[in-house]
Amino acid sequence: MEMKVKYLIYGLIVMLAYSCSSGMKNANTGLKPHALGKMNEIVVIADDEVWEGAVGDTFKFYFGSAYPIMPTPEPIFDIRHFTYDRMVEAPLLKELRTYVILADLNNTDSQITQMVGQDLGENKYEKSQTDNTFNTSIGRDKWAKGQLLFYLFANGEEPLADVVSKNFSAIATRVNEHDAKKLEQTTFAGTESITHENMMEEKYGMNVKVPQAFKKAIEVENLTWFRRDDKEYILNLVFDKRSYTSEDQLKKQAIHDWIDNFGEALVTSDQEGSILVVNDKDLPIFDYTKEINGAFTTEIRGTWEMTKDFLAGPFFGYSILNENKNEVIYALAFISAPGKDKRDRMQMLDHMIQTLEWME
């Protein structure tokens, strides 16, 4: 019995030693982990004095400004700030997805300035000292696979703040592009409904991805209302097909009127006589023209409200032209989620609409 116990202990020691050895080998292979984190998040690496001054204020003004059309303000991006020392203390902070590095090159003692110098390389760093127009750079996969890094630098805090304001739009666009795959995964995660797809092909002559979790709430004539009821959110997608008779059907007012008609006819609440309408009195309506997979589209974004309830939320409304069949599809994405953040889920609904393709 004693010999068996000794052999068992010896075997465990060997297995543990092998496991530790294998773990050390994997840790030393130099293979980078995959970046973690959610979409719409930006990690700022900056010295405290930079972040707490005009540069940080400028960054927060642009990147943390209100996302349009939300009844309760939500930022365009979620911002997290870390110093260089904090990144060293917590290595996992180097495995996030999107970074903006802010460097005042006048502060040569700053570890962030030194890091920027190393990452740019000697020639580019020397150029940054003499060329005031060279103040941005983009990097990828510095600490983990799937990372996107923006380097913003200047000689002094005032010019650095100016660099931030001038590059906001371009950076925001690149971040959204970087998040596109994450948005696709979050929206669908392999849950497209073949049943919905077949119905959409037969009824509307189009392919559009609608996840299985969305159920048909109402189907009348050429209108279909998909709805997903979660514990905290009610997500809605509505499609309605009409004959195309006039360019007026593609105008902002036409979408506005269609939403009001839909709300009056089909959306009610516990409060008798309460209907859904577009709220264009308290908050603005934004309108755009664009293409969705080649289809000319007019889009409006704003807030809806119930006329006799304290219920409201954001909506995206679309008028999408099918020239081949001389038809127009009105589409509506809206959310009811009192007290909850809605930005990401509105982006998910919009992404579903963006999958629309006409059948040949």
pLDDT at 283: 85
Distance of alpha carbon 93 from alpha carbon 47, whole angstroms: 16
Residue with tokens 């999958």: 355
> Residues of CATH 3.30.379 domain(s) within the chain?
41-178
Distance of alpha carbon 110 from alpha carbon 275, whole angstroms: 59
Report the pLDDT averaged over residues 322-330.
95
Which option is the CATH number for 190-358: 3.30.1120.10, 3.30.110.70, 3.40.1000.10, 3.20.20.30? Answer: 3.40.1000.10
Question: Computed over its alpha carbons, how large is the radius of gyration of the chain?
Answer: 26
Report the pLDDT averaged over residues 13-26.
34
Report the pLDDT averaged over residues 198-225.
93
Q: What is the SS3 assignment for 62?
A: helix
pLDDT at 31: 86
> Residues of CATH 3.40.1000.10 domain(s) within the chain?
190-358
Is residue 21 predicted with pLDDT exceeding 80? Answer: no
Is residue 18 predicted with pLDDT exceeding 50? Answer: no
Report the pLDDT averaged over residues 272-290.
93
pLDDT at 30: 64
Is residue 29 predicted with pLDDT exceeding 80? Answer: no
For 43-91, how does the pLDDT look when each residue is reduced to its tens digit (9 = 90+)? Answer: 999 999 999 999 999 999 999 999 988 888 999 999 999 999 999 999 9
pLDDT at 28: 41
pLDDT at 78: 98
DSSP string across 27-53:
HTS-PPPBPB--TTEEEEE--HHHHTS
pLDDT at 106: 96
Is residue 2 predicted with pLDDT exceeding 80? Answer: no
For 182-195, how does the pLDDT look when each residue is reduced to its tens digit (9 = 90+)? Answer: 999 999 886 777 77
Measured in whole angstroms, the distance separating CA 305 from the mean position of its chain's CA atoms is 24
Report the pLDDT averaged over residues 246-253.
96
Is residue 350 predicted with pLDDT exceeding 80? Answer: yes
pLDDT at 151: 98
Q: Which amino acid is at 127?
A: K
For 81-113, how does the pLDDT look when each residue is reduced to its tens digit (9 = 90+)? Answer: 999 999 999 999 999 999 999 999 999 999 999
Mean confidence (pLDDT) of the chain: 90
Closest CA to 178 of 254, 245, 98, 115: 98
Evaluate whether 68 touches 314 at the Cβ level (below 8 Å).
Answer: no
pLDDT at 22: 33
Binning pLDDT at 50, 70 and 90, where does residue 196 land? confident
Binning pLDDT at 50, 70 and 90, where does residue 13 land? very low
Residue with tokens 């959409």: 200
pLDDT at 197: 85
Distance of alpha carbon 106 from alpha carbon 116, whole angstroms: 12
Q: What CATH number is given for 41-178 in this structure?
A: 3.30.379
Is residue 198 predicted with pLDDT exceeding 90? Answer: no
